[in-house]
Chain A
Amino acid sequence: MKEITITTNKITNIVNGHFHAWGWEVPVYLFLGGLTAGILLISAIMAISKQKSKFTLSTEKLSLWAPIILSLGMAALFLDLKHKLYVWRFYTAFEITSPMSWGSWILLFVYPLSFFLILSTIRKAYPKLNKFTESLLLKIKLDKFYNILIDFSEKNRKKIAFTVIPFAIALGVYTGILLSAFGSRPFWNSSILGPLFLVSGLSSAVAAVILFSKEHSEKEVFTRIDLGLLIIEVIFIIFLIIGMASSSIQYKKALNLILGGPLTAPFWIFIFSFGLLLPGFFEVLELRGKKIPSAIAALLVIAGGLFLRFIIVEAGQMSGWLTY
Protein backbone atom coordinates (compact mmCIF):
# COMPACT_ATOMS: atom_id res chain seq x y z
CA MET A 1 0.00 0.00 0.00
CA LYS A 2 1.01 3.60 -0.38
CA GLU A 3 -0.99 6.29 1.33
CA ILE A 4 0.00 9.92 1.42
CA THR A 5 -1.63 12.39 3.75
CA ILE A 6 -0.97 16.10 3.65
CA THR A 7 -1.82 17.20 7.15
CA THR A 8 -1.44 20.93 6.93
CA ASN A 9 -3.58 21.89 3.99
CA LYS A 10 -0.67 22.41 1.70
CA ILE A 11 -1.33 22.79 -1.91
CA THR A 12 -3.34 25.85 -2.64
CA ASN A 13 -3.45 25.17 -6.37
CA ILE A 14 -5.21 21.85 -5.96
CA VAL A 15 -8.71 22.09 -7.39
CA ASN A 16 -10.95 19.05 -7.82
CA GLY A 17 -8.12 16.73 -6.83
CA HIS A 18 -5.34 18.00 -9.06
CA PHE A 19 -3.02 20.94 -9.55
CA HIS A 20 -4.76 23.76 -11.34
CA ALA A 21 -3.25 27.19 -11.95
CA TRP A 22 -4.46 28.12 -15.43
CA GLY A 23 -8.14 28.30 -16.35
CA TRP A 24 -9.90 28.91 -19.68
CA GLU A 25 -7.94 32.08 -20.47
CA VAL A 26 -4.65 30.38 -21.39
CA PRO A 27 -6.07 27.83 -23.88
CA VAL A 28 -8.20 30.55 -25.48
CA TYR A 29 -5.10 32.75 -25.82
CA LEU A 30 -3.06 29.87 -27.25
CA PHE A 31 -5.81 29.12 -29.76
CA LEU A 32 -6.28 32.72 -30.86
CA GLY A 33 -2.49 33.23 -31.02
CA GLY A 34 -2.18 30.16 -33.26
CA LEU A 35 -5.12 31.32 -35.38
CA THR A 36 -3.45 34.71 -35.84
CA ALA A 37 -0.20 33.01 -36.86
CA GLY A 38 -2.15 30.97 -39.40
CA ILE A 39 -3.96 34.04 -40.77
CA LEU A 40 -0.70 35.94 -41.16
CA LEU A 41 1.00 32.97 -42.81
CA ILE A 42 -1.81 32.56 -45.33
CA SER A 43 -1.97 36.30 -46.04
CA ALA A 44 1.81 36.51 -46.48
CA ILE A 45 2.06 33.42 -48.66
CA MET A 46 -0.82 34.62 -50.83
CA ALA A 47 0.89 38.02 -51.18
CA ILE A 48 3.97 36.28 -52.52
CA SER A 49 2.09 33.68 -54.55
CA LYS A 50 1.54 34.30 -58.25
CA GLN A 51 -2.14 33.32 -57.95
CA LYS A 52 -3.04 36.57 -56.28
CA SER A 53 -5.51 37.65 -58.92
CA LYS A 54 -7.94 35.09 -57.51
CA PHE A 55 -8.93 34.36 -53.94
CA THR A 56 -10.18 37.73 -52.68
CA LEU A 57 -10.53 36.72 -49.05
CA SER A 58 -7.15 35.11 -48.45
CA THR A 59 -5.18 37.50 -50.66
CA GLU A 60 -6.72 40.82 -49.79
CA LYS A 61 -9.10 40.74 -46.83
CA LEU A 62 -7.84 38.11 -44.41
CA SER A 63 -4.92 40.06 -42.91
CA LEU A 64 -7.30 42.54 -41.24
CA TRP A 65 -8.47 39.77 -38.92
CA ALA A 66 -4.97 39.15 -37.54
CA PRO A 67 -4.61 42.08 -35.11
CA ILE A 68 -8.28 41.79 -34.10
CA ILE A 69 -8.05 38.10 -33.22
CA LEU A 70 -4.64 38.57 -31.60
CA SER A 71 -6.03 41.38 -29.46
CA LEU A 72 -8.87 39.12 -28.30
CA GLY A 73 -6.26 36.53 -27.37
CA MET A 74 -4.20 39.13 -25.54
CA ALA A 75 -7.34 40.20 -23.67
CA ALA A 76 -7.83 36.59 -22.53
CA LEU A 77 -4.19 36.47 -21.44
CA PHE A 78 -4.60 39.73 -19.55
CA LEU A 79 -7.61 38.27 -17.72
CA ASP A 80 -5.42 35.36 -16.66
CA LEU A 81 -2.85 37.62 -15.00
CA LYS A 82 -3.33 37.80 -11.26
CA HIS A 83 -1.25 40.96 -10.80
CA LYS A 84 -2.78 42.88 -13.69
CA LEU A 85 -1.42 46.36 -12.96
CA TYR A 86 2.09 45.01 -13.48
CA VAL A 87 1.46 43.74 -17.01
CA TRP A 88 3.93 46.34 -18.35
CA ARG A 89 6.70 44.40 -16.62
CA PHE A 90 6.72 42.03 -19.62
CA TYR A 91 8.40 44.85 -21.52
CA THR A 92 11.00 45.89 -19.00
CA ALA A 93 12.94 42.65 -19.39
CA PHE A 94 13.93 40.11 -21.97
CA GLU A 95 14.53 36.75 -20.32
CA ILE A 96 16.22 34.54 -22.87
CA THR A 97 15.23 31.28 -21.12
CA SER A 98 11.56 32.22 -20.76
CA PRO A 99 9.28 31.34 -23.70
CA MET A 100 6.69 33.74 -22.28
CA SER A 101 9.21 36.57 -22.54
CA TRP A 102 10.01 35.58 -26.13
CA GLY A 103 6.28 35.54 -26.87
CA SER A 104 5.76 39.02 -25.43
CA TRP A 105 8.45 40.47 -27.67
CA ILE A 106 7.33 38.49 -30.75
CA LEU A 107 3.86 39.99 -30.31
CA LEU A 108 5.39 43.44 -30.29
CA PHE A 109 6.76 42.79 -33.80
CA VAL A 110 3.67 40.97 -35.06
CA TYR A 111 1.34 43.94 -34.56
CA PRO A 112 3.16 46.52 -36.76
CA LEU A 113 3.98 43.88 -39.36
CA SER A 114 0.35 42.86 -39.62
CA PHE A 115 -0.65 46.53 -40.00
CA PHE A 116 1.75 46.93 -42.92
CA LEU A 117 0.27 43.80 -44.49
CA ILE A 118 -3.25 45.21 -44.03
CA LEU A 119 -2.26 48.59 -45.50
CA SER A 120 -0.84 46.88 -48.58
CA THR A 121 -4.38 45.88 -49.64
CA ILE A 122 -6.67 48.21 -47.70
CA ARG A 123 -7.54 50.47 -50.66
CA LYS A 124 -8.75 47.50 -52.69
CA ALA A 125 -10.10 45.21 -49.98
CA TYR A 126 -11.72 47.65 -47.59
CA PRO A 127 -12.37 50.94 -49.44
CA LYS A 128 -14.97 52.11 -46.88
CA LEU A 129 -12.71 51.38 -43.94
CA ASN A 130 -9.87 53.13 -45.75
CA LYS A 131 -11.94 56.27 -46.32
CA PHE A 132 -13.19 56.23 -42.76
CA THR A 133 -9.64 55.91 -41.39
CA GLU A 134 -8.47 58.65 -43.73
CA SER A 135 -11.22 61.00 -42.58
CA LEU A 136 -10.42 60.29 -38.93
CA LEU A 137 -6.72 60.93 -39.50
CA LEU A 138 -7.53 64.10 -41.42
CA LYS A 139 -8.81 65.61 -38.18
CA ILE A 140 -5.39 65.21 -36.59
CA LYS A 141 -3.61 66.03 -39.86
CA LEU A 142 -2.08 62.57 -40.19
CA ASP A 143 -3.90 61.61 -43.40
CA LYS A 144 -0.86 62.36 -45.57
CA PHE A 145 1.35 60.19 -43.38
CA TYR A 146 -1.28 57.46 -43.58
CA ASN A 147 -1.27 57.58 -47.37
CA ILE A 148 2.53 57.52 -47.43
CA LEU A 149 2.37 54.37 -45.30
CA ILE A 150 -0.16 52.81 -47.68
CA ASP A 151 1.96 53.70 -50.72
CA PHE A 152 5.01 52.23 -48.98
CA SER A 153 3.13 49.04 -48.05
CA GLU A 154 1.70 48.59 -51.55
CA LYS A 155 5.12 49.04 -53.15
CA ASN A 156 6.84 46.71 -50.69
CA ARG A 157 4.04 44.17 -50.30
CA LYS A 158 6.22 41.17 -51.12
CA LYS A 159 9.06 42.31 -48.87
CA ILE A 160 6.60 42.83 -46.01
CA ALA A 161 5.12 39.39 -46.66
CA PHE A 162 8.59 37.79 -46.55
CA THR A 163 9.23 39.55 -43.22
CA VAL A 164 5.87 38.47 -41.81
CA ILE A 165 6.45 34.76 -42.51
CA PRO A 166 9.21 34.09 -39.91
CA PHE A 167 7.34 36.10 -37.27
CA ALA A 168 4.08 34.27 -37.99
CA ILE A 169 5.88 30.92 -37.72
CA ALA A 170 7.55 32.08 -34.49
CA LEU A 171 4.17 33.12 -33.07
CA GLY A 172 2.54 29.80 -33.97
CA VAL A 173 5.43 27.69 -32.67
CA TYR A 174 5.72 29.82 -29.52
CA THR A 175 2.15 28.97 -28.47
CA GLY A 176 3.27 25.34 -28.22
CA ILE A 177 6.79 25.92 -26.89
CA LEU A 178 5.27 28.01 -24.10
CA LEU A 179 3.87 24.76 -22.72
CA SER A 180 6.60 22.35 -23.79
CA ALA A 181 9.26 24.33 -21.89
CA PHE A 182 7.69 23.30 -18.58
CA GLY A 183 9.77 20.26 -17.68
CA SER A 184 7.78 19.73 -14.52
CA ARG A 185 4.59 18.97 -16.48
CA PRO A 186 5.33 15.74 -18.38
CA PHE A 187 2.31 15.98 -20.69
CA TRP A 188 3.57 19.29 -22.05
CA ASN A 189 7.25 18.50 -22.05
CA SER A 190 7.54 17.61 -25.76
CA SER A 191 8.92 19.93 -28.42
CA ILE A 192 6.42 18.51 -30.90
CA LEU A 193 3.82 20.81 -29.28
CA GLY A 194 5.49 23.72 -31.10
CA PRO A 195 4.96 22.40 -34.64
CA LEU A 196 1.63 20.79 -33.61
CA PHE A 197 0.19 24.12 -32.45
CA LEU A 198 1.59 25.88 -35.51
CA VAL A 199 -0.06 23.40 -37.88
CA SER A 200 -3.25 23.43 -35.83
CA GLY A 201 -3.34 27.25 -35.90
CA LEU A 202 -2.74 27.22 -39.64
CA SER A 203 -5.47 24.61 -40.09
CA SER A 204 -7.93 26.75 -38.10
CA ALA A 205 -7.07 29.79 -40.23
CA VAL A 206 -7.52 27.75 -43.42
CA ALA A 207 -10.88 26.56 -42.07
CA ALA A 208 -11.85 30.19 -41.41
CA VAL A 209 -11.07 30.99 -45.06
CA ILE A 210 -13.24 28.06 -46.19
CA LEU A 211 -16.00 29.24 -43.89
CA PHE A 212 -16.09 32.86 -45.04
CA SER A 213 -14.89 32.71 -48.64
CA LYS A 214 -17.49 33.44 -51.30
CA GLU A 215 -15.45 31.98 -54.15
CA HIS A 216 -15.84 28.31 -54.94
CA SER A 217 -12.29 27.96 -56.31
CA GLU A 218 -10.83 29.48 -53.12
CA LYS A 219 -12.90 27.14 -50.94
CA GLU A 220 -11.73 24.14 -52.98
CA VAL A 221 -8.01 24.97 -52.87
CA PHE A 222 -8.14 25.68 -49.14
CA THR A 223 -10.07 22.47 -48.52
CA ARG A 224 -7.18 20.58 -50.16
CA ILE A 225 -4.67 22.47 -48.03
CA ASP A 226 -6.66 21.78 -44.87
CA LEU A 227 -6.81 18.08 -45.61
CA GLY A 228 -3.02 18.01 -45.79
CA LEU A 229 -2.74 19.97 -42.54
CA LEU A 230 -5.15 17.63 -40.75
CA ILE A 231 -3.02 14.64 -41.82
CA ILE A 232 0.12 16.39 -40.50
CA GLU A 233 -1.67 17.10 -37.21
CA VAL A 234 -2.63 13.44 -36.82
CA ILE A 235 1.01 12.46 -37.46
CA PHE A 236 2.27 14.99 -34.89
CA ILE A 237 -0.22 13.71 -32.30
CA ILE A 238 1.05 10.17 -32.93
CA PHE A 239 4.62 11.47 -32.43
CA LEU A 240 3.53 13.13 -29.18
CA ILE A 241 2.09 9.84 -27.96
CA ILE A 242 5.14 7.80 -29.05
CA GLY A 243 7.42 10.27 -27.27
CA MET A 244 5.58 9.92 -23.99
CA ALA A 245 5.03 6.16 -24.31
CA SER A 246 8.77 5.56 -24.76
CA SER A 247 9.86 7.83 -21.92
CA SER A 248 10.11 7.48 -18.14
CA ILE A 249 7.29 6.54 -15.78
CA GLN A 250 6.07 10.11 -15.20
CA TYR A 251 5.57 10.55 -18.94
CA LYS A 252 3.78 7.21 -19.21
CA LYS A 253 1.50 8.27 -16.35
CA ALA A 254 0.87 11.55 -18.15
CA LEU A 255 0.02 9.67 -21.33
CA ASN A 256 -2.43 7.53 -19.37
CA LEU A 257 -4.54 10.65 -18.90
CA ILE A 258 -5.63 10.22 -22.53
CA LEU A 259 -5.21 6.44 -22.71
CA GLY A 260 -7.71 5.23 -20.15
CA GLY A 261 -7.54 8.20 -17.77
CA PRO A 262 -10.04 11.00 -17.20
CA LEU A 263 -9.24 12.86 -20.44
CA THR A 264 -9.54 9.83 -22.72
CA ALA A 265 -13.05 10.51 -23.96
CA PRO A 266 -12.64 14.27 -24.55
CA PHE A 267 -9.32 13.75 -26.32
CA TRP A 268 -10.30 10.93 -28.66
CA ILE A 269 -13.87 12.05 -29.28
CA PHE A 270 -13.67 15.84 -29.45
CA ILE A 271 -10.12 16.34 -30.72
CA PHE A 272 -9.16 13.23 -32.65
CA SER A 273 -12.55 12.18 -34.04
CA PHE A 274 -14.65 15.36 -34.31
CA GLY A 275 -11.72 17.75 -34.73
CA LEU A 276 -9.47 15.81 -37.12
CA LEU A 277 -10.85 12.58 -38.61
CA LEU A 278 -14.44 13.65 -39.23
CA PRO A 279 -13.66 17.00 -40.90
CA GLY A 280 -10.94 15.23 -42.91
CA PHE A 281 -13.52 12.67 -44.04
CA PHE A 282 -16.00 15.41 -44.98
CA GLU A 283 -13.29 17.26 -46.90
CA VAL A 284 -12.42 14.14 -48.88
CA LEU A 285 -16.12 13.74 -49.78
CA GLU A 286 -16.35 17.43 -50.75
CA LEU A 287 -13.31 17.15 -53.00
CA ARG A 288 -14.89 14.09 -54.63
CA GLY A 289 -17.90 16.21 -55.53
CA LYS A 290 -20.34 15.17 -52.82
CA LYS A 291 -22.64 17.98 -51.81
CA ILE A 292 -21.74 18.59 -48.19
CA PRO A 293 -21.79 22.14 -46.81
CA SER A 294 -18.13 23.10 -46.45
CA ALA A 295 -19.02 25.00 -43.28
CA ILE A 296 -19.48 21.72 -41.37
CA ALA A 297 -15.86 20.57 -41.80
CA ALA A 298 -14.56 24.11 -41.27
CA LEU A 299 -16.47 24.59 -38.01
CA LEU A 300 -15.37 21.16 -36.77
CA VAL A 301 -11.73 22.02 -37.49
CA ILE A 302 -11.97 25.34 -35.63
CA ALA A 303 -13.76 23.76 -32.65
CA GLY A 304 -11.21 20.91 -32.67
CA GLY A 305 -8.34 23.42 -32.58
CA LEU A 306 -9.85 25.18 -29.58
CA PHE A 307 -10.51 21.89 -27.83
CA LEU A 308 -6.95 20.72 -28.50
CA ARG A 309 -5.61 23.65 -26.46
CA PHE A 310 -8.14 23.13 -23.67
CA ILE A 311 -7.38 19.43 -23.28
CA ILE A 312 -3.60 19.84 -23.54
CA VAL A 313 -3.52 22.72 -21.05
CA GLU A 314 -5.63 20.65 -18.67
CA ALA A 315 -3.64 17.43 -19.19
CA GLY A 316 -0.37 19.23 -18.50
CA GLN A 317 -1.65 20.54 -15.21
CA MET A 318 -2.90 17.08 -14.27
CA SER A 319 0.53 15.59 -14.90
CA GLY A 320 3.53 16.11 -12.66
CA TRP A 321 6.51 14.54 -10.91
CA LEU A 322 5.00 14.31 -7.46
CA THR A 323 2.69 11.44 -6.69
CA TYR A 324 0.47 13.65 -4.54
Chain B
Amino acid sequence: MKKYGMVIDTKSCVGCGACVVACKTENSVPEGLHRDWIVEEVTGKFPNLFMEIRSERCNHCSDAPCVSTCPTGASHIKEGSNIIKVDPDKCTGCQACVVSCPYNARFVMPEGYVSKCTFCDHRVEKGTDPACASVCPTHSIVFGDLNNPLSRVSRLLRSRKYKTLVPEAGTEPNVYYLL
Protein backbone atom coordinates (compact mmCIF):
# COMPACT_ATOMS: atom_id res chain seq x y z
CA MET B 1 0.00 0.00 0.00
CA LYS B 2 1.13 3.51 -0.77
CA LYS B 3 1.52 5.86 2.15
CA TYR B 4 1.51 9.29 0.63
CA GLY B 5 3.03 12.18 2.47
CA MET B 6 4.16 15.70 1.91
CA VAL B 7 7.42 17.24 3.05
CA ILE B 8 7.48 21.03 3.15
CA ASP B 9 10.70 22.95 3.58
CA THR B 10 10.12 25.87 5.93
CA LYS B 11 13.65 27.13 5.18
CA SER B 12 12.97 27.73 1.52
CA CYS B 13 9.23 28.54 1.54
CA VAL B 14 8.74 32.25 0.97
CA GLY B 15 4.97 32.23 1.49
CA CYS B 16 4.21 33.41 -2.05
CA GLY B 17 0.84 31.64 -2.01
CA ALA B 18 1.31 29.97 -5.41
CA CYS B 19 0.30 26.65 -3.82
CA VAL B 20 -2.95 28.19 -2.65
CA VAL B 21 -3.78 29.64 -6.07
CA ALA B 22 -2.80 26.41 -7.85
CA CYS B 23 -5.03 24.37 -5.56
CA LYS B 24 -7.98 26.68 -6.04
CA THR B 25 -7.56 26.57 -9.81
CA GLU B 26 -6.94 22.82 -10.06
CA ASN B 27 -9.84 21.86 -7.81
CA SER B 28 -12.25 24.69 -8.61
CA VAL B 29 -12.43 25.65 -4.94
CA PRO B 30 -15.20 28.26 -4.53
CA GLU B 31 -14.50 31.85 -3.61
CA GLY B 32 -13.73 32.38 0.06
CA LEU B 33 -12.82 28.73 0.67
CA HIS B 34 -9.35 27.17 0.71
CA ARG B 35 -7.96 23.66 0.78
CA ASP B 36 -4.49 24.96 1.66
CA TRP B 37 -3.23 28.14 3.23
CA ILE B 38 -0.08 29.93 4.38
CA VAL B 39 0.83 30.52 8.02
CA GLU B 40 3.59 32.92 9.01
CA GLU B 41 4.73 32.43 12.57
CA VAL B 42 7.08 34.94 14.17
CA THR B 43 8.64 34.08 17.54
CA GLY B 44 11.39 35.56 19.72
CA LYS B 45 12.26 38.98 21.07
CA PHE B 46 13.46 41.89 18.97
CA PRO B 47 16.05 41.91 17.47
CA ASN B 48 16.30 38.12 17.75
CA LEU B 49 13.20 37.25 15.81
CA PHE B 50 12.57 34.02 13.97
CA MET B 51 10.06 33.56 11.19
CA GLU B 52 8.66 30.28 9.98
CA ILE B 53 6.47 30.11 6.91
CA ARG B 54 4.32 27.05 6.41
CA SER B 55 2.05 25.96 3.62
CA GLU B 56 -0.66 24.03 5.50
CA ARG B 57 -3.43 21.64 4.48
CA CYS B 58 -5.18 18.44 5.55
CA ASN B 59 -2.55 16.16 7.10
CA HIS B 60 -4.10 12.92 5.77
CA CYS B 61 -3.58 11.49 9.25
CA SER B 62 -2.90 7.78 9.70
CA ASP B 63 -5.28 7.80 12.68
CA ALA B 64 -7.82 10.21 11.25
CA PRO B 65 -10.60 11.34 13.62
CA CYS B 66 -12.56 12.74 10.67
CA VAL B 67 -12.94 9.18 9.33
CA SER B 68 -13.75 7.56 12.67
CA THR B 69 -16.38 10.16 13.65
CA CYS B 70 -18.18 10.26 10.29
CA PRO B 71 -21.60 8.64 10.83
CA THR B 72 -22.20 7.70 7.20
CA GLY B 73 -18.81 6.59 5.88
CA ALA B 74 -18.66 9.68 3.64
CA SER B 75 -15.29 10.57 5.09
CA HIS B 76 -13.14 7.63 4.04
CA ILE B 77 -9.65 6.39 3.23
CA LYS B 78 -9.10 5.89 -0.48
CA GLU B 79 -8.47 2.25 -1.25
CA GLY B 80 -4.83 1.31 -1.69
CA SER B 81 -3.56 4.52 -0.12
CA ASN B 82 -3.80 6.71 2.95
CA ILE B 83 -5.48 9.60 1.14
CA ILE B 84 -8.55 10.78 3.02
CA LYS B 85 -11.47 11.84 0.90
CA VAL B 86 -15.11 12.84 1.25
CA ASP B 87 -17.85 11.21 -0.80
CA PRO B 88 -20.37 14.03 -1.42
CA ASP B 89 -23.13 11.48 -2.12
CA LYS B 90 -22.82 10.10 1.40
CA CYS B 91 -22.15 13.38 3.25
CA THR B 92 -25.05 14.79 5.27
CA GLY B 93 -23.20 17.98 6.16
CA CYS B 94 -23.42 17.18 9.87
CA GLN B 95 -19.89 18.57 10.29
CA ALA B 96 -18.75 15.90 12.75
CA CYS B 97 -15.55 15.65 10.67
CA VAL B 98 -15.14 19.44 10.58
CA VAL B 99 -15.32 19.57 14.37
CA SER B 100 -13.08 16.51 14.83
CA CYS B 101 -10.15 17.84 12.76
CA PRO B 102 -7.46 19.31 15.05
CA TYR B 103 -6.10 21.27 12.06
CA ASN B 104 -9.41 22.93 11.10
CA ALA B 105 -8.69 21.73 7.57
CA ARG B 106 -12.26 21.00 6.53
CA PHE B 107 -15.00 23.28 5.30
CA VAL B 108 -18.52 23.10 3.93
CA MET B 109 -19.00 23.64 0.22
CA PRO B 110 -21.82 25.95 -0.95
CA GLU B 111 -23.68 22.78 -2.03
CA GLY B 112 -23.65 21.56 1.59
CA TYR B 113 -21.15 18.72 1.61
CA VAL B 114 -17.78 18.85 3.32
CA SER B 115 -14.57 19.27 1.36
CA LYS B 116 -10.83 19.47 1.91
CA CYS B 117 -7.41 18.69 0.38
CA THR B 118 -7.30 15.37 -1.48
CA PHE B 119 -3.54 15.44 -2.20
CA CYS B 120 -4.89 15.96 -5.75
CA ASP B 121 -5.44 12.21 -6.00
CA HIS B 122 -6.75 12.60 -9.55
CA ARG B 123 -3.29 13.86 -10.52
CA VAL B 124 -1.46 11.35 -8.35
CA GLU B 125 -3.29 8.52 -10.15
CA LYS B 126 -1.72 9.75 -13.37
CA GLY B 127 1.73 9.87 -11.79
CA THR B 128 1.94 13.66 -11.43
CA ASP B 129 2.43 15.71 -8.28
CA PRO B 130 -0.41 17.52 -6.52
CA ALA B 131 -1.01 20.99 -7.97
CA CYS B 132 0.54 22.78 -5.00
CA ALA B 133 3.79 20.79 -5.23
CA SER B 134 4.02 21.15 -8.99
CA VAL B 135 3.87 24.97 -8.98
CA CYS B 136 6.02 25.77 -5.93
CA PRO B 137 8.64 28.18 -7.32
CA THR B 138 11.17 27.32 -4.58
CA HIS B 139 10.50 23.56 -4.79
CA SER B 140 9.63 23.62 -1.10
CA ILE B 141 6.74 21.16 -1.38
CA VAL B 142 7.75 17.56 -2.04
CA PHE B 143 5.17 14.80 -2.43
CA GLY B 144 5.72 11.06 -2.47
CA ASP B 145 5.36 7.59 -0.99
CA LEU B 146 6.60 7.40 2.60
CA ASN B 147 6.64 3.59 2.38
CA ASN B 148 9.23 3.73 -0.38
CA PRO B 149 12.65 4.29 1.24
CA LEU B 150 14.01 5.57 -2.08
CA SER B 151 11.37 8.27 -2.55
CA ARG B 152 12.41 11.91 -2.18
CA VAL B 153 10.12 12.40 0.81
CA SER B 154 11.69 9.42 2.63
CA ARG B 155 15.19 10.61 1.83
CA LEU B 156 14.43 14.15 3.02
CA LEU B 157 13.00 12.86 6.28
CA ARG B 158 16.14 10.75 6.80
CA SER B 159 18.53 13.61 6.10
CA ARG B 160 16.83 16.65 7.64
CA LYS B 161 15.31 17.66 10.94
CA TYR B 162 11.55 17.89 10.76
CA LYS B 163 8.36 18.32 12.73
CA THR B 164 4.68 17.66 12.28
CA LEU B 165 1.90 19.97 13.47
CA VAL B 166 0.45 19.26 16.92
CA PRO B 167 1.61 15.60 17.03
CA GLU B 168 0.24 15.55 20.59
CA ALA B 169 -3.26 15.47 19.11
CA GLY B 170 -2.40 11.84 18.35
CA THR B 171 -3.64 11.70 14.79
CA GLU B 172 -0.30 10.70 13.18
CA PRO B 173 -0.20 13.41 10.50
CA ASN B 174 1.53 12.76 7.17
CA VAL B 175 2.54 16.32 6.31
CA TYR B 176 6.07 17.05 7.52
CA TYR B 177 7.83 20.39 7.91
CA LEU B 178 11.59 20.54 7.45
CA LEU B 179 13.34 22.77 9.97
Note whether A and B form a binding pair: yes
Is B96 within 8 A of A98, CB to CB?
Answer: yes
Is A13 within 8 A of B107, CB to CB?
Answer: yes
Which residues of A, 90-123, contact B by the 8 Å Cβ criterion? 90, 92-93, 95, 97-101, 103-104
Distance between Cα atoms of A314 and B99 in the complex (Å): 12
CB contacts (< 8 Å) of A13 on chain B: these are 98, 104, 107
Is B104 within 8 A of A100, CB to CB?
Answer: no
Which residues of A, 1-15, contact B by the 8 Å Cβ criterion? 1-14
CB contacts (< 8 Å) of A92 on chain B: these are 72, 90
Which residues of A, 294-324, contact B by the 8 Å Cβ criterion? 316-317, 320-322, 324
Partner of A12, one of B32, B102, B111, B169: B32
Provide the B56-93 mask, 1 if CB < 8 A to any CB of A, else 0: 10000000010011111110000000000000111111
Is A321 within 8 A of B92, CB to CB?
Answer: no
Is B33 within 8 A of A89, CB to CB?
Answer: no
Known: A81-B93, A90-B92, A100-B94. A8 touches B69 (CB 8 A): no
Interface of A is mostly: loop
Distance between Cα atoms of A37 and B41 in the complex (Å): 47
Is A2 within 8 A of B91, CB to CB?
Answer: no
Distance between Cα atoms of A18 and B98 in the complex (Å): 14
Known: A86-B90, A98-B70. A10 touches B34 (CB 8 A): yes
Known: A21-B95, A82-B93, A320-B102. A95 touches B71 (CB 8 A): yes
| A252 contacts chain B at the CB level, 8 A cutoff | no
Number of chain A residues close to chain B: CB under 8 A: 49
CB contacts (< 8 Å) of B43 on chain A: these are 1-3
Distance between Cα atoms of A14 and B33 in the complex (Å): 12
| A182 contacts chain B at the CB level, 8 A cutoff | yes
CB contacts (< 8 Å) of B158 on chain A: these are none
Interface of B is mostly: loop
CB contacts (< 8 Å) of A9 on chain B: these are 32, 34, 37
Closest chain B residue to A249, Cβ basis: B168
| B162 contacts chain A at the CB level, 8 A cutoff | no
Known: A1-B42, A12-B32, A322-B166. A89 touches B93 (CB 8 A): no
Known: A1-B42, A6-B39, A82-B93. A182 touches B65 (CB 8 A): yes
CB contacts (< 8 Å) of B41 on chain A: these are 2-5
| A284 contacts chain B at the CB level, 8 A cutoff | no
Is A97 within 8 A of B112, CB to CB?
Answer: no
CB distance from B34 to the nearest CB of A (A): 6
Distance between Cα atoms of A181 and B96 in the complex (Å): 10
Which residues of A, 64-97, contact B by the 8 Å Cβ criterion? 80-84, 86-87, 89-90, 92-93, 95, 97
Distance between Cα atoms of A320 and B105 in the complex (Å): 13
Q: B: which residues have CB within 8 A of A?
A: 15, 17, 20, 32-34, 36-46, 49, 56, 65, 68-74, 88-96, 98-104, 107-108, 111-114, 165-166, 168-171
Given contacts A4-B39, A8-B38, A84-B112, 13 further A-B contacts (CB under 8 A): A1-B42, A1-B46, A13-B104, A21-B95, A83-B92, A84-B93, A86-B90, A90-B72, A92-B90, A182-B69, A183-B65, A183-B102, A184-B169
